[in-house]
């Protein structure tokens, strides 16, 4: 099952999977960002009542707890004939069942936007949140005439929250062809909204915008309105990839669904939220509606997968509106009732927090799941554990034919080397639950490549053994292709040939890589000299940070995970080149044994000691509490084998980083003091980060490592 978009409905499907397990089901979520934004709390975020974390759902963590895979990417094409999705940056994905909940975008078909103008779209709401810093900058630069184009209730709530954010800094106008025409708003609510706008000095203007220029907007009647920045909150439409799909749409271009929320012409595709239009029952687009549809969607997906009859979604005719106005005030609208009060704000916060807290997992590990089975489930206990556990021949042949010149399907290849000396290394890493296997393929290659680089080598070829989960058809194909394409993505950069491979099905998916190379420069662990400076090519911390994240620590957000992932995908090739160009002959890659073990090896081989000055700069995440509170499984063993060689205060806040195991960790590089500038300049020219100086080698003393207090 593939879910597209972490909208208000799909997140509820994933939440249900956190508590229920469907045997035989593999779930993938594809969404553009690591975090999904909850629309109801966004105005509160704009006027700084809530933090970004409070209004966001961490999609990677949600997938981890749901047993799903998360792919951060954008779908750009839906091919219903081949049940295939094309993605912007990753290989395509096949589905058996699809759920689309990708929201809507602001409709600007009738507006001519000049390049010189400053404008932002209010929909999707995630883009508004992302662009808020840029809007801050524009307002700070005295570009303070803002026009919100569109006269719906969202424009009023947005105007109120912006007014509070920037206080008297700016002038704001709400400009709409129609103003407050929502039929569910009663007269008192409409009058109150207008009165509050007037009190806050927010202007209201009728008209249809036909063009946006740098300094003004032009209306259909020729009138010009002064404007430095426009926020476009016009009617919704859907993105072109959905419009161009075969799914039947209504006259406004939204995907038509039946009462079960299934596309009316494809019964393998659910569509919910802003993107859908219920056949013969059109309703205004809102987060409330998407949340309500999510309740039916999660039930229907389970019913469909387990072969039962689906239930019908019954849209409400009217619903509760709670619109934030002044600080701690909200306006409540329900049928003919309308109140403007502090208790309305408290009610709003209570409802919104209740929803979003469903998706926070702090200290909520080890939930026991109820078990279900797919309609045509095959018992995995019968899977062969021996040579028969291979990936099926068809999947393999299809992949090989598509991606290599090995058309005769030879079992082995010839790799020509310049010399008889072959540098060889082997590594295996297990797939982290919920991680995109394409990213994992890249990381596994980079992790293995470090061994070749640290030995002064240049990689020539690789052999790979893939462990994919027990699966069939599209799932087996997905893992095989994603793992292989990830490896290929990185290997191609080094002209490394993929010479042979093997695959198997396993409860513990992972990748084993053997890399072959040739020696390019003389590197050894015994050539460090007194006074040589010790550098790291990138920061440390993947071991304990992944442990913390996958223990659902609330000290790490989806953005923090993205930073860890970017670090895991950062190659060391340029760092090693910089070291080689600066005549460094001593380096090692920091792997599962941690910083201390690798540095001790160099000290012992070179007959030296080392002096380290550790600061939070060496950490991927500078929150030292995380380092104190979380440890990866191999921490204890690393500590036991290295502790005796180190002098460090027991209270040193960074002590644990010495023993933290690294996946695709940094290079530890020794640089002669005279070459310091050359190395740093070369490094900075080649890479977007700076090398981190952590200490120097000294004459041999009792211990191998001495750390500053
Ligand atoms: C300023 C403002 C305030 C609002 N306040 C409220 C409110 O208080 N209450 C309310 O009910 N409604 C409110 N709304 C309306 C509400 O934002 C939308 O109706 C709601 O977000 C739609 O929800 P959804 O689940 O359909 O999609 P969304 O919440 O927009 O989620 C769609 C998700 O899909 C992802 N996505 C999109 N395209 C792709 C793609 N091609 N590939 C992969 N991923 C993709 C997006 O990144 C996003 O995570 C407000 C709107 C605005 C503009």
- CB of residue 101 inside a 6 A radius of ligand 1: yes
pLDDT digits (tens, 9 = 90+) for 119-172: 999 988 888 999 999 999 988 887 778 999 999 999 999 999 999 998 766 789
User: Is-contact 50 41, C-beta < 8 A?
Assistant: yes
**527: Cβ contacts below 8 Å, ≥ 6 apart:** 585, 586, 606, 670
Specify the CATH number of the domain 2-104+238-316: 3.50.50.60
The CATH topology of domain 533-707 is: Phosphoribosyl-aminoimidazole Synthetase; Chain A, domain 2 (3.90.650)
CA 510 to centroid of ligand 1, rounded, Å: 35
What value does the mean pLDDT of the chain take?
92
Looking at residue 170, its pLDDT comes to: 76
Element (H, E) at 439: helix 437-454
- CB of residue 288 inside a 6 A radius of ligand 1: yes
Top mutation candidate among 163, 165, 287 for ligand 1, by most atoms within 8 Å of CB: 287
CA atoms lying within 13 Å on the CB side of residue 443:
25
Residue 136 three-state SS: helix
What phi, psi does 541 have (nearest 5°)?
A: 130, 10
The mean pLDDT of 665-693, rounded to a whole number, is: 95
The mean pLDDT of 428-455, rounded to a whole number, is: 96
pLDDT band at 366 (very low <50, low <70, confident <90, very high): low
Looking at residue 410, its pLDDT comes to: 66
Looking at residue 385, its pLDDT comes to: 59
Residue nearest to atom 21 of ligand 1 (CA): 287
Top mutation candidate among 3, 5, 356 for ligand 1, by most atoms within 8 Å of CB: 5
Considering the segment(s) 106-236 as one domain, its CATH architecture is 3-Layer(bba) Sandwich (3.50)
CATH superfamily of 387-519: PurM-like, N-terminal domain (3.30.1330.10)
CA 656 to centroid of ligand 1, rounded, Å: 42
Give strand pairing partners of 277. 256
CA 176 to centroid of ligand 1, rounded, Å: 21
On the question of pLDDT at 380 being above 60, the answer is no
Assigned token pair, 462: 């690789």
Q: What residue segments make up the domains of the chain, in order of their start?
A: 2-104+238-316, 106-236, 387-519, 533-707
CA 672 to centroid of ligand 1, rounded, Å: 55
Structure pTM?
0.93
- CB of residue 30 inside a 6 A radius of ligand 1: yes
Residue nearest to atom 8 of ligand 1 (CA): 40
> Is the fold of 2-104+238-316 the same as that of 533-707?
no
User: Is-contact 202 164, C-beta < 8 A?
Assistant: no
The mean pLDDT of 655-683, rounded to a whole number, is: 97
Looking at residue 183, its pLDDT comes to: 87
CA 703 to centroid of ligand 1, rounded, Å: 58
Residue nearest to atom 3 of ligand 1 (CA): 154
- CB of residue 32 inside a 6 A radius of ligand 1: yes
pLDDT digits (tens, 9 = 90+) for 381-408: 556 656 666 777 778 778 877 776 665 6
Q: Which atom of ligand 1 is nearest to the CA of 286?
A: 19
Alpha carbon distance 691, 535 (integer Å)? 6
The mean pLDDT of 473-491, rounded to a whole number, is: 95
Top mutation candidate among 28, 107, 124 for ligand 1, by most atoms within 8 Å of CB: 124
Residue nearest to atom 10 of ligand 1 (CA): 287
Burial label, 601 (beta-carbon count in 10 A; 0-12, 13-18, 19+): middle
User: Is-contact 500 406, C-beta < 8 A?
Assistant: no
């Amino acid at each position: 099952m593939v879910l597209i978009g972490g909208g208000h409905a799909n997140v509820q499907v994933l939440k249900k999977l956190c508590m229920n397990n469907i045997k035989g089901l593999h779930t993938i979520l594809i969404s553009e960002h690591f975090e999904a934004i909850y629309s109801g709390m966004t105005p509160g975020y704009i006027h700084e009542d809530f933090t970004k974390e409070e209004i966001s759902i961490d999609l990677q963590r949600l997938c981890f707890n749901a047993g799903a895979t998360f792919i951060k990417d954008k779908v750009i094409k839906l091919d219903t004939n081949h049940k295939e999705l094309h993605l912007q940056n990753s290989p395509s994905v096949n589905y058996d069942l699809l759920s689309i909940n990708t929201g809507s975008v602001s409709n600007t078909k009738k507006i001519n936007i000049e390049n010189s103008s400053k404008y932002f779209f209010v929909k999707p709401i995630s883009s508004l949140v992302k662009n808020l810093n840029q809007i801050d900058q524009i307002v700070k630069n005295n570009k303070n005439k803002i026009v919100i184009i569109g006269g719906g209730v969202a424009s009023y709530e947005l105007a109120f929250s912006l007014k509070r954010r920037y206080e008297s800094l700016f002038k704001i106008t709400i400009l709409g062809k129609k103003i407050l025409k929502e039929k569910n708003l009663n007269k008192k609510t409409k009058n109150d909204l207008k009165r509050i706008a007037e009190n806050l000095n927010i202007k209201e203007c009728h008209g249809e915008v036909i063009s946006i220029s740098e300094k003004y907007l032009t209306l259909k009647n020729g009138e010009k309105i002064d404007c430095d920045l426009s926020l476009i909150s016009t009617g919704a439409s859907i993105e072109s990839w959905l419009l161009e799909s075969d799914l039947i749409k209504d006259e406004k271009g939204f995907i038509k669904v039946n009462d079960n929320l299934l596309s009316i012409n494809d019964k393998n595709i659910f569509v919910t939220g802003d993107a859908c239009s219920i056949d013969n029952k059109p309703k205004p687009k809102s987060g409330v509606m998407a949340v309500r549809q999510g309740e039916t969607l999660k039930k229907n997906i389970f019913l469909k997968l387990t072969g039962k009859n689906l239930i019908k979604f019954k849209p409400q005719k009217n619903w509760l509106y709670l619109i934030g106005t002044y600080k701690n005030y909200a306006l409540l609208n329900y049928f003919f009732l309308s109140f403007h009060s502090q208790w309305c704000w408290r009610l709003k916060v209570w409802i919104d927090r209740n929803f979003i807290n469903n998706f926070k997992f702090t200290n909520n590990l080890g939930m026991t799941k109820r078990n279900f089975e797919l309609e045509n489930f095959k018992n995995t206990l019968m899977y062969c554990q021996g040579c028969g556990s291979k990936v099926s021949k068809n999947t393999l042949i299809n992949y090989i034919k598509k991606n290599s010149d090995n058309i005769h399907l030879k079992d082995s290849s010839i790799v020509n080397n310049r010399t008889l000396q072959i540098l060889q290394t082997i590594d295996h890493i297990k797939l982290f639950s919920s991680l995109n296997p394409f990213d994992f393929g890249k990381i596994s290659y980079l992790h293995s490549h470090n061994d070749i680089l640290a030995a002064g080598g240049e990689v020539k070829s690789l052999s790979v053994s893939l462990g994919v989960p027990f699966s069939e058809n599209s799932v087996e194909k997905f893992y095989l292709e994603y793992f292989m394409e990830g490896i290929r993505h990185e290997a191609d950069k080094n002209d490394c040939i993929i010479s042979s491979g093997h695959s198997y099905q396993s409860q513990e998916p992972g990748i084993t890589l053997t890399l072959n190379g040739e020696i390019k420069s003389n590197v050894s662990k015994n050539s460090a000299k007194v006074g040589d400076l010790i550098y790291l090519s990138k920061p440390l911390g993947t071991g304990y940070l992944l442990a913390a994240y996958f223990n659902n620590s609330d000290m790490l957000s989806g953005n923090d995970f993205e930073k860890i992932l970017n670090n895991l995908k950062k190659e060391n090739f340029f760092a090693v080149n910089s070291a080689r160009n600066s005549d460094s002959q001593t380096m090692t890659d920091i792997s599962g044994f941690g910083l201390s073990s690798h540095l001790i090896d160099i000290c012992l081989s070179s007959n030296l000691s080392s002096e380290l000055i550790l600061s939070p700069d060496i950490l991927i995440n500078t929150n030292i509490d995380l380092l104190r509170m979380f440890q990866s499984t191999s921490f204890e063993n690393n500590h036991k084998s290295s502790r005796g060689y180190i002098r460090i205060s027991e209270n040193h806040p960074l002590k644990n980083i010495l023993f933290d195991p690294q996946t695709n960790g940094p290079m530890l590089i020794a640089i002669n003091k005279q070459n310091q500038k050359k190395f740093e300049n070369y490094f900075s020219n080649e890479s977007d980060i700076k090398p981190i100086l952590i200490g120097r080698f000294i004459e041999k003393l009792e211990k191998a490592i001495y750390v500053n207090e």
